[in-house]
């Protein structure tokens, strides 16, 4: 099996710019040279087979260079988000017990050097840590301790989920499962070598990383933000002439709201907007006046399955599976769950055989956790997420259904619905809404009562300035914590 970078590089695009950041452009040849510099730093003959290598690197070029080098030496790569909540990072490190860690020393307000060293001291795991300063000059430190057991894995990846609904879990994806992305990704996003795509999903998740791999292979330009700085993002899109964007609805909304008057040309240049990571309600795209000419496409992608299906968000909200995907439905308790088979299906959840058995049937079908119904022409209607179901007094409430009703109100631009504990009913329905004009709570309650069953109407409605995000998704854990911290007497 070829090393990953060798499998991705297309000689035809070797000198084509395939990655742009706010201040630099990179070709496929640059990645080859970056990988070779990391290999030289590791030293000749170092075999990383079965050894877990954690990455906490914000710069995309250096992040990818380390990945390609470690992959070539057979290592098991564990890319981690720099945005984990307090405690999540230590929990993931405890679960992984890495042999190597490549980390930035610090970011504003966070000393990763201290966090990593504190973890190593408390865990007692033998570990080699490479720390980089802001110029990415690496310093190696070998920490003694109890040697970690090697995995029976070779050139695999362990992608940890965002943790937007709970503690992150490790999704094991083999290199052989990443290679089909080189065809699936460009097909689902209609990418050509002349396209310039602004990418919001983090490269520590499968979809973001495979976008970069596809750019290296196909020759389109993959444009990434350096940090979550909306004016800088607009300037980067302007500099690179982006004609497509892949974003979560929340971040696109924030970007548009903050910069539409400063850089209207950025949006007028977009031909296609791809939205991923959150449920989108019908008509939600109509608020982008500068994008009336653009196609809006919803993308359903899962870490466990890769790209699954797309929907035309300007039409009826129905989803069409990709040509590489098989689908079927599992009926249970009056609801149907979507099951899929894909060429990019994951191997398992890391060290979680029970969780893997619960998610994948014996004959290889992934239970996506999406509640769905078949429609005409092989299309699919999504209803909500199974794990988000709120169980209230013996009845089940789908948050997505309630969120759609809330955002249908003319004053509400965003909504998130969660279940919180209740001493009598088990759970109650709590809605968090973002409004663009004043409204009466009684009016919004009445709006809901005339559109959904009484038990689905939110028990409490909280107004907030913006929904909290983690890796571009609404952070429902933070919303539950926010509600718990408030006085509701």
Residue 204 tokens, joined: 């520590």
Spatial separation of the C-alpha atoms in residues 163 and 85, rounded to whole Å: 9
Band the pLDDT of 393: cuts 50, 70, 90.
confident
Q: Residue 251: name the closest of 270, 220, 278, 290 by CA.
A: 278
Q: Which pLDDT value is given to residue 389?
A: 87
CATH 3.40.50.12780 intervals, the chain: 1-385
pLDDT in tens, 17-52: 999 999 999 999 999 999 999 999 999 989 999 999
126 within 8 A of 143, measured Cβ to Cβ? yes
- What average pLDDT does the segment 98-124 reach? 94
What is the model's pTM?
A: 0.85
Share of the chain above pLDDT 70, in %: 97
271: Cβ contacts below 8 Å, ≥ 6 apart:
243, 244, 293, 294, 295
For residue 254, pLDDT beyond 90: no
State the Cα–Cα distance between residues 436 and 287, nearest whole angstrom. Answer: 12
Predicted confidence (pLDDT) per residue in 174-199, tens digit: 999 999 999 999 999 999 999 999 99
Q: Can you name the residues that pair with 370 across neighbouring β-strands?
A: 385
Q: Nearest to residue 173, comparing CAs of 186, 165, 161? A: 161
Average pLDDT, stretch 124-149? 96
Angle at 387 between CA 381 and CA 393, to 5 degrees: 100
Q: For residue 344, give every residue at least 6 positions away whose Cβ sits within 8 Å of its Cβ, in sequence order, or none.
A: 173, 177, 178, 180, 181, 184, 305, 306, 307
How many Å apart are CA 362 and CA 244, to the nearest integer?
39
Burial class (CB in 10 A: 0-12, 13-18, 19+), 122: exposed
Fold classified for 1-385: Rossmann fold (3.40.50)
Contact residues for 440 (Cβ-Cβ < 8 A; gap 6+) = none
Nearest to residue 456, comparing CAs of 427, 479, 436?
427
DSSP helix/strand/coil, 300 = strand
The yes-or-no verdict on residue 163 having pLDDT over 70 is: no
Instruction: Please give the Cα distance from 138 to 487 (Å, whole number).
Output: 49
Mode of pairing for the β-strands spanning 110-111 and 295-302: unpaired
pLDDT surpassing 70 at residue 483: yes
For CATH 3.30.300.30, the residue range(s) in the chain are 389-485
Q: 84: which DSSP letter? A: P
- Residue 66 and residue 55 in contact, taking contact as beta carbons nearer than 8 Å: yes
Average pLDDT over residues 215-241: 94
Q: What is the pLDDT of residue 354?
A: 95
Q: pLDDT at residue 282 above 80?
A: no
The pLDDT-based confidence of 166 (bands split at 50, 70, 90) is low
For residue 488, pLDDT over 80 is answered with no
Identify the three-state secondary structure at position 344: coil
pLDDT band per the 50, 70, 90 thresholds, residue 85? low
The pLDDT of residue 150 is above 90: yes
Does pLDDT of 334 surpass 90? no
Pairwise CA distance, residues 158 & 92, whole Å: 11
Taking all residues of the chain, what is their mean pLDDT, rounded to a whole number? 92
271 in Cβ contact with 237 (< 8 Å): no
Most confident of 256-265, 279-288, 294-303: 294-303
Q: How far apart are the first and last CA of the chain?
A: 63
Residues 6+ apart with CB under 8 A from 121: none
pLDDT band at 86 (very low <50, low <70, confident <90, very high): low
CA neighbours closer than 13 Å in the CB half-sphere of residue 29:
7
From start to end of 313-361, where are the E strands? 319-321, 326-332, 335-341, 348-349
Is 389-485 a domain of CATH 1.10.150.20? no
Bigger pLDDT: 421 or 279?
Answer: 421
SS3 (DSSP) at 190: coil
Q: CA 390 to CA 393: how far, in whole Å?
A: 10
Tally of CB atoms within 10 A around 369: 16
């Amino acid at each position: 099996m070829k090393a990953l970078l060798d499998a991705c590089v297309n000689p035809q695009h070797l000198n084509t710019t395939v990655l742009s950041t706010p201040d630099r452009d990179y070709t496929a040849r640059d990645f080859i040279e970056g990988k070779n510099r990391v290999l030289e730093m590791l030293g000749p003959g170092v075999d990383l087979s079965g050894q877990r290598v954690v990455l906490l690197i914000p710069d995309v070029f250096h992040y990818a260079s380390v990945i390609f080098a470690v992959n070539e030496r057979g290592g098991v790569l564990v890319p981690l988000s720099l945005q984990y909540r307090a405690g999540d990072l230590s929990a993931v490190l405890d679960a992984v017990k890495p042999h190597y860690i490549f980390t930035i020393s610090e970011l504003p307000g966070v000393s990763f050097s201290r966090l990593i060293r504190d973890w190593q001291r408390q865990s007692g795991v033998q570990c080699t840590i490479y720390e980089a300063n802001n110029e990415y000059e690496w310093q190696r430190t070998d920490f003694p301790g109890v040697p970690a057991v090697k995995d029976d894995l070779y050139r695999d990846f362990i992608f940890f989920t965002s943790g937007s609904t709970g503690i992150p879990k490790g999704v094991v994806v083999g290199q052989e499962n990443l290679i089909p992305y080189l065809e699936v990704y460009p097909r689902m996003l209609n990418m050509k070598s002349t396209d310039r795509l602004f990418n919001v999903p983090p490269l520590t998740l499968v979809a973001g990383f495979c976008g970069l791999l596809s750019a290296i292979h196909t020759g389109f330009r993959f444009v990434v933000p350096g940090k979550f700085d909306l004016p800088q993002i607009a300037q980067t899109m302007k500099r690179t002439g982006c004609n497509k964007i892949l974003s979560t609805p929340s971040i696109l909304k924030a970007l548009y709201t903050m910069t539409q008057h400063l850089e209207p040309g950025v949006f007028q240049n977009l031909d296609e907007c791809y939205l991923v990571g959150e449920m989108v309600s019908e008509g939600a795209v109509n608020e982008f006046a500068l994008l009336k000419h653009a196609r809006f496409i919803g993308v359903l992608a899962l870490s466990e399955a890769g790209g699954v299906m797309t929907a035309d968000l300007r039409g009826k909200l129905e989803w069409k599976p990709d040509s590489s995907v098989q689908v079927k439905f599992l009926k249970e308790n009056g609801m149907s769950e979507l099951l899929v088979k894909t060429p990019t299906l994951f191997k398992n959840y890391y060290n979680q055989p029970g969780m893997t058995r619960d998610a994948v049937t014996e004959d290889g079908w992934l239970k996506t956790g999406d509640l769905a119904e078949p429609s005409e022409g092989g299309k699919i209607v999504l209803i909500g997420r199974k794990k988000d179901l709120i169980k209230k007094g013996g009845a089940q409430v789908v948050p997505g259904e309630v969120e759609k009703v809330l955002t249908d109100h003319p004053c509400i631009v965003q909504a998130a619905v969660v279940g919180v504990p209740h001493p009598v009913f088990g759970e109650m329905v709590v809605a968090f809404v973002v409004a663009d004009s004043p409204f009466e709570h009684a009016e919004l309650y009445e709006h809901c009562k005339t559109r959904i069953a009484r038990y689905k109407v939110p028990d409490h409605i909280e107004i907030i300035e913006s929904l909290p995000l983690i890796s571009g998704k609404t952070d429902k854990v933070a919303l539950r914590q926010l509600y718990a911290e408030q006085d509701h007497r």
